């Protein structure tokens, strides 16, 4: 293994890669397979340079696939090789910027550990022993099985066409919907789980239920900022992060208050850092709200007009006596600070309580988001300049999928212990645990998985491994041999985001736009674009699975009698592949021409971005700044009198959930003597576990350290760089210690995404500790989202 990029060269901002043909295309394959990674070949070619590419280069618009933000760029392509990624100035959301992680995206395509060919399992699940096969053999194995596992045809026959025996999970990205179309609509599975229930489900839902929006923030015009639990300085570096920090320290935003258990880089850049006890932010917000009502600081006219259950909420807060003195021993923030912040916030012209962009940390997270949204609304600073922005969506024509109706398919089952189970994205923990505990009302026997790594993202990895081992058939579509791919029976290698054209996407808010990612180069090795995989798999499965349905589905038998088999197959959606009749590029063209006309398509095709009046509005103002919409055309206020602030949400009470944010003492923070509360977080240089094998990024953050209080560490004889064991009731791991004053004595912290156990990932394998192996499987009661900060751990020097 050779890592050829130094930190300074990489951050120089103009990293260019000159990759000469085969040098980038090593023969690395999954461990245990027929081929081994050639460790003498460099992970990044030696020809990496800081110069921009030479010679004639094609400029292909792409959307970054390294994280959820989807910044726009241009791929420089020379002789069929991507030599450099540049930012695309046309997209208002990313404003001519790619972060270091986005620049390192080129390595996703040229990672020697990539999945290169379809693979079939030849060893035990989890052993990483696979054999290279052809695409046709892979599709055939999914349908008919092998001597190691059963195929879909046999399973569905045994289950009498109950399509709910298929479960599926999916990761974030532009091809996500296509996978949902394939397994959810076309194959008929209701049992879907994705990243939402292990990410910001309650944040989105809490704000949406209260204000009807998960808002964008106008940092440019805000003048007071509370940021709690969200570490923007480290977690995601985007233009709006920069907007925020450009305006802090009295450069527009007069005061930034950071509420966080750790002294993060965001805390370092704030005017005030208030360390909060993990999981108690709700008590802090309720006390802020009490001060506002007690001193009558709220925008009463605004709340009287838009508030739903406003008077009851006011009485609720005052009668519960959520005073700062009450909150201080719970959240650890001094009462006098709570008084000051509440008064300053309400006196500011454009105050913002940042809604957060984070996982669910405590069981009260949904109520916390509701309380934050209501507190913001008390200032009246929503749907206006300097506040919460609803913005304006750009509408694309809806897509119609001709999905068959499966008479025998049962409903999804992951409902136990959840007040409002979501039909859409489900609860990963409840779904998995109900299967392990035998509580599923019918057998779940198949998992289709794509670009999702539950072994490293869903708390309690040991249970996830057990769950995957229980299945009769696991299929994985992915780019890298992740820890979860190790449990697959068939692996289908997907093209990286620079090798594929993706479905067009519309972004709303302040400056709306439509964007398109085009394939910079053809898929390398034998990888395929996801939509091609969906189509080919659908073609392979359609007729044999139709035969199974014909056997058990009385409605279908009736229809065939009435209209004939051929007609029913074609007209009622049983031809599973008909959803992908047009290649993605052609379909994008059809959608955009239909919505905006041929000129819009020309612009989108060339620049990767389109919005109405773009030719007139878009201007370069100076070397670093662009105008997308003139100030008067930006969508600061769009809701008018349609705004609502739902303070009391009666429907919640019907399922035992407080209709108004309420504190319960069971949420108090406590850690037994000798133990620590584990808190986790992410870093802008890594996207969960998806990028820890990236050699360029590894150069920036080599591993995840365990933050431990310096004085505590000293007492325990732990010094910087010592190897320590971290152990919870569900698992353990080892990593290096980082003693620091920036964390409380009864807490420890580690970055998420490290500690892979897949030997196919040469850099990520065994590097650091996987937090999902340590965090216990608690979930919050409203939607069943995973609670990340409720685990106590023991630490010892190894
Ligand atoms: S923030 Fe960085 S990683 Fe995320 S999409 Fe933008 S450039 Fe890519």
CA angle, 357 then 361 then 365, to 5°: 80
Q: Is 637 exposed, middle or buried (0-12, 13-18, 19+ CB in 10 A)?
A: middle
Same domain, 357 and 411: no
Instruction: Give the CATH number for residue 484.
Output: 3.40.50.740
List, in sequence order, every residue forming a beta bridge with 448; answer none if it has no partner.
Answer: 168, 475
Instruction: With cut-offs at 50, 70 and 90, classify the pLDDT of residue 37.
Output: very low
Take atom 6 of ligand 1 and give the residue whose Cα is closest. Answer: 71
10 Å Cβ neighbour count for 418? 21
Instruction: Give the CATH number for residue 690.
Output: 2.40.40.20
| Diameter of the chain measured on Cα atoms | 81
The two three-digit tokens of residue 311, written as one number: 């008077």
Same domain, 440 and 570: yes
Q: What is the pLDDT of residue 8?
A: 36
Check: CB of residue 645 under 8 Å from CB of residue 635: no
Residue 262's φ and ψ, nearest 5 degrees, are: -105, 155
- DSSP secondary structure of 380-413: T-BSSTTSEE---PPPPPPPP--PPP-TTPPPP-
Query: Residues 6 or more apart from 581 whose CB is under 8 A from it?
Result: none
Q: Is 72 in the pocket of ligand 1 (CB under 6 A)?
A: no
Check: CB of residue 749 under 8 Å from CB of residue 702: no
CA distance 666 to 257: 27
Cα 221 to its chain centre, rounded Å, is 28
Give the β-pairing of 119-121 and 676-681: unpaired
Pocket test for ligand 1, best of 10, 63, 65, 71 (most atoms within 8 A of CB): 71
* Strongest mean pLDDT among 232-236, 508-512, 721-725: 721-725
In a domain? residue 252? yes
Q: Is 479 exposed, middle or buried (0-12, 13-18, 19+ CB in 10 A)?
A: buried
Q: What is the pLDDT of residue 698?
A: 85
Check: CB of residue 55 under 8 Å from CB of residue 78: yes
Q: What is the pLDDT of residue 42?
A: 61
Same domain, 272 and 315: yes
Same domain, 376 and 416: no
Q: Is 70 in the pocket of ligand 1 (CB under 6 A)?
A: yes
Last residue within a domain, chosen from 655, 685, 712: 655
Q: What is the pLDDT of residue 27?
A: 31
Cα 501 to its chain centre, rounded Å, is 21
Last residue within a domain, chosen from 544, 565, 580: 580
3-state class of 417 per DSSP?
A: coil
3-state class of 167 per DSSP?
A: strand
Q: Is 236 in the pocket of ligand 1 (CB under 6 A)?
A: yes
Q: What is the pLDDT of residue 720?
A: 97
**Mean pLDDT, to the nearest integer, of 506-526?**
96
Same domain, 349 and 242: yes
CA distance 745 to 747: 6
Check: CB of residue 88 under 8 Å from CB of residue 21: no
In a domain? residue 77? no
In a domain? residue 215? yes
Same domain, 384 and 441: no
Which H/E stretch holds residue 560? helix 554-563
What does the pLDDT look like over 290-348, one tens digit per residue? 999 999 999 999 999 999 999 999 999 999 999 999 999 999 999 999 999 999 999 99
Check: CB of residue 495 under 8 Å from CB of residue 503: no
What does the pLDDT look like over 302-313, one tens digit per residue? 999 999 999 999
Q: How far is the CA of 98 from the centre of ligand 1 (A)?
A: 6
Query: Residues 6 or more apart from 227 whose CB is under 8 A from it?
Result: 256, 257, 258, 259, 266, 270, 354
CA distance 707 to 678: 10
SS3 string of 671-726? Answer: CCCCCEEEEEECCCCCCCCCCCCCHHHHCCCCCCEEEEEHHHHHHHCCCCCCEEEE
Q: What's the mean per-residue pLDDT of the chain?
A: 92
Residue 559, domain extent: 119-188+403-451+461-501+527-580
Q: How far is the CA of 685 from the centre of ligand 1 (A)?
A: 9
3-state class of 643 per DSSP?
A: coil
Instruction: With cut-offs at 50, 70 and 90, classify the pLDDT of residue 52.
Output: low
Give the predicted TM-score (pTM) of the model. 0.93
CA distance 241 to 431: 35
Same domain, 206 and 169: no
Atom of ligand 1 nearest to the CA of 70: 5
Pocket test for ligand 1, best of 10, 66, 96, 696 (most atoms within 8 A of CB): 66
In a domain? residue 383? yes
Give the β-pairing of 351-353 and 224-228: parallel
Q: Is 67 in the pocket of ligand 1 (CB under 6 A)?
A: yes
In a domain? residue 550? yes
Pocket test for ligand 1, best of 61, 98, 684 (most atoms within 8 A of CB): 98
Q: Is 66 in the pocket of ligand 1 (CB under 6 A)?
A: yes
Pocket test for ligand 1, best of 65, 67, 91, 107 (most atoms within 8 A of CB): 67
- DSSP secondary structure of 430-493: HHHHHHHTT--SS---EEEEES--HHHHSS-HHHHHHHHHH-SEEEEEESS--TTGGG-SEEEE
CA distance 370 to 377: 11
3-state class of 792 per DSSP?
A: strand
Q: How far is the CA of 593 from the centre of ligand 1 (A)?
A: 28
Check: CB of residue 28 under 8 Å from CB of residue 35: yes
Q: What is the pLDDT of residue 230?
A: 86
Which of 8-17, 204-213, 719-728 has the lowest average pLDDT? 8-17
Same domain, 175 and 207: no
Cα 727 to its chain centre, rounded Å, is 27
Instruction: Give the CATH number for residue 228.
Output: 3.40.228.10
* Alpha helix (H) residue ranges in 175-333: 176-180, 201-211, 232-235, 239-247, 265-269, 281-294, 300-306, 310-319, 324-331
Same domain, 337 and 367: yes
Residue 26: pLDDT over 50: no
Atom of ligand 1 nearest to the CA of 97: 7
Residue 22: pLDDT over 80: no
Last residue within a domain, chosen from 604, 630, 655: 655
In a domain? residue 45? no
Same domain, 697 and 777: yes
Same domain, 181 and 314: no
In a domain? residue 65? no
Q: Is 238 in the pocket of ligand 1 (CB under 6 A)?
A: yes
In a domain? residue 240? yes
Cα 81 to its chain centre, rounded Å, is 29
Q: What is the pLDDT of residue 684?
A: 78
| Number of structural domains the chain divides into | 3
CA atoms within 13 A on the CB side of 121: 28
Same domain, 176 and 242: no
Cα(first)–Cα(last) distance of the chain, in Å? Answer: 28
């Amino acid at each position: 293994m050779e890592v050829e990029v130094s930190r300074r060269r990489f951050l120089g901002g103009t990293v260019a890669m000159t990759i000469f043909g085969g040098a980038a295309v090593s023969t690395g394959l999954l461990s245990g397979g027929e081929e081994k990674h050639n460790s003498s070949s460099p992970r990044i070619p030696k020809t990496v340079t800081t110069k921009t590419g030479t010679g004639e280069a094609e400029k292909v618009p792409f959307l970054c696939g390294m994280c959820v933000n989807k910044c726009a760029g241009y791929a420089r392509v020379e002789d069929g090789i991507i030599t450099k990624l540049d930012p695309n100035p046309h997209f208002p959301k990313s404003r001519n910027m790619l972060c270091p992680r986005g620049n390192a995206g080129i390595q996703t395509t040229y990672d020697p550990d990539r999945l290169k060919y379809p693979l079939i399992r030849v060893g035990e699940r989890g052993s990483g022993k696979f054999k290279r096969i052809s695409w046709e053999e892979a599709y055939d194995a999914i349908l008919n099985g092998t001597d190691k596992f059963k195929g879909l045809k046999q399973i569905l026959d045994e289950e009498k066409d109950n399509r709910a025996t298929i479960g599926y999970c999916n990761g974030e990205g532009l091809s996500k919907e296509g996978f949902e179309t394939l397994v959810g609509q076309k194959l008929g599975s209701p049992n879907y789980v994705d990243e939402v229930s292990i990410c910001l489900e309650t944040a989105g839902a809490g704000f949406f239920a209260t204000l009807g929006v998960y808002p964008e923030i106008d940092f440019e015009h805000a003048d007071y900022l509370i940021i709690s639990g969200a570490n923007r300085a480290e977690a995601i570096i985007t233009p709006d992060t920069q907007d925020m920090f450009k305006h802090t320290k009295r450069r527009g935003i007069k005061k930034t208050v950071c509420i966080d258990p750790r002294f993060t880089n965001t805390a370092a850049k704030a005017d005030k850092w208030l360390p909060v006890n993990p999981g108690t932010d709700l008590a802090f917000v309720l006390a802020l709200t009490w001060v506002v009502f007690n001193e009558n600081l709220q925008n009463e006219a605004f709340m009287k007009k838009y508030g739903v259950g406003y008077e009851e909420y006011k009485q609720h807060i005052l009668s519960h006596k959520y005073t700062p003195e009450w909150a201080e021993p719970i959240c650890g923030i001094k009462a006098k600070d709570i008084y000051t912040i509440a008064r300053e916030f309400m006196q500011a012209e454009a105050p913002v309580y940042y809604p957060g962009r984070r996982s669910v940390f405590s069981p009260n997270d949904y109520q916390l988001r509701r309380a934050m949204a209501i507190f913001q609304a008390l200032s009246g600073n929503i749907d206006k300049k300097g506040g919460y922005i609803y913005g304006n969506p750009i509408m694309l024509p809806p897509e119609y999928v001709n999905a068959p109706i499966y008479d025998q398919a049962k409903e999804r089952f992951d409902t136990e212990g959840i007040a409002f189970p979501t039909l859409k994205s489900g609860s990963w923990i409840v779904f998995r645990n109900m299967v392990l505990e035998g509580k599923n009302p019918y057998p779940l026997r198949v998992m289709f998985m794509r670009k999702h790594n539950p072994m490293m993202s869903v708390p309690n990895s040991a249970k996830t491994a057990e769950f995957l081992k229980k299945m009769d058939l696991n299929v994985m579509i992915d780019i890298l041999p992740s820890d979860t791919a190790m449990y697959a029976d068939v692996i289908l290698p997907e093209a990286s985001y620079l090798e594929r054209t993706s479905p067009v996407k519309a972004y709303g808010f302040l400056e709306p736009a439509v964007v398109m990612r085009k394939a910079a180069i053809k898929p390398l090795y034998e990888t395929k674009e996801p939509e091609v995989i969906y189509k080919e798999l659908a073609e392979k499965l359609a007729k044999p699975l139709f035969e199974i349905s014909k056997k058990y589905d009385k409605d279908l038998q009736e229809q065939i009698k009435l209209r004939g088999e051929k007609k029913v197959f074609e007209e009622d959606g049983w031809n599973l592949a008909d959803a992908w009749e047009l290649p993605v590029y052609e379909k994008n063209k059809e959608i955009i021409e239909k919505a905006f006309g041929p000129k819009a398509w020309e612009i989108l095709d060339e620049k990767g971005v389109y919005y109405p009046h773009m030719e007139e509005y878009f201007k370069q103002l100076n070397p670093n700044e662009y105008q997308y919409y003139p100030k008067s055309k930006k969508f600061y206020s769009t809701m008018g009198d349609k705004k609502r602030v739902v303070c009391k949400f009666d429907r919640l009470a019907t399922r035992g959930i407080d209709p108004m944010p309420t504190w319960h003492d069971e949420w108090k923070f406590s850690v037994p003597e000798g133990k620590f509360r584990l808190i986790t977080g992410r870093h802008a240089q890594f996207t969960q576990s998806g990028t820890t094998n990236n050699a360029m990024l590894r150069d920036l953050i080599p591993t995840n350290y365990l933050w431990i209080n310096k004085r505590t560490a000293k007492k325990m004889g732990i010094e910087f760089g010592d190897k320590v064991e971290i152990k919870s009731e569900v698992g353990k791991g080892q990593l290096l210690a980082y003693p620091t004053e920036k964390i409380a004595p009864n807490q420890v912290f580690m970055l998420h995404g490290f500690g892979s156990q897949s030997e196919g990932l040469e850099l990520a394998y065994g590097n650091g500790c996987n937090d999902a192996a340590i965090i216990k499987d608690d979930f919050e009661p409203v939607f069943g989202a995973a609670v990340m900060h409720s685990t106590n751990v023991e630490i010892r020097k190894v």
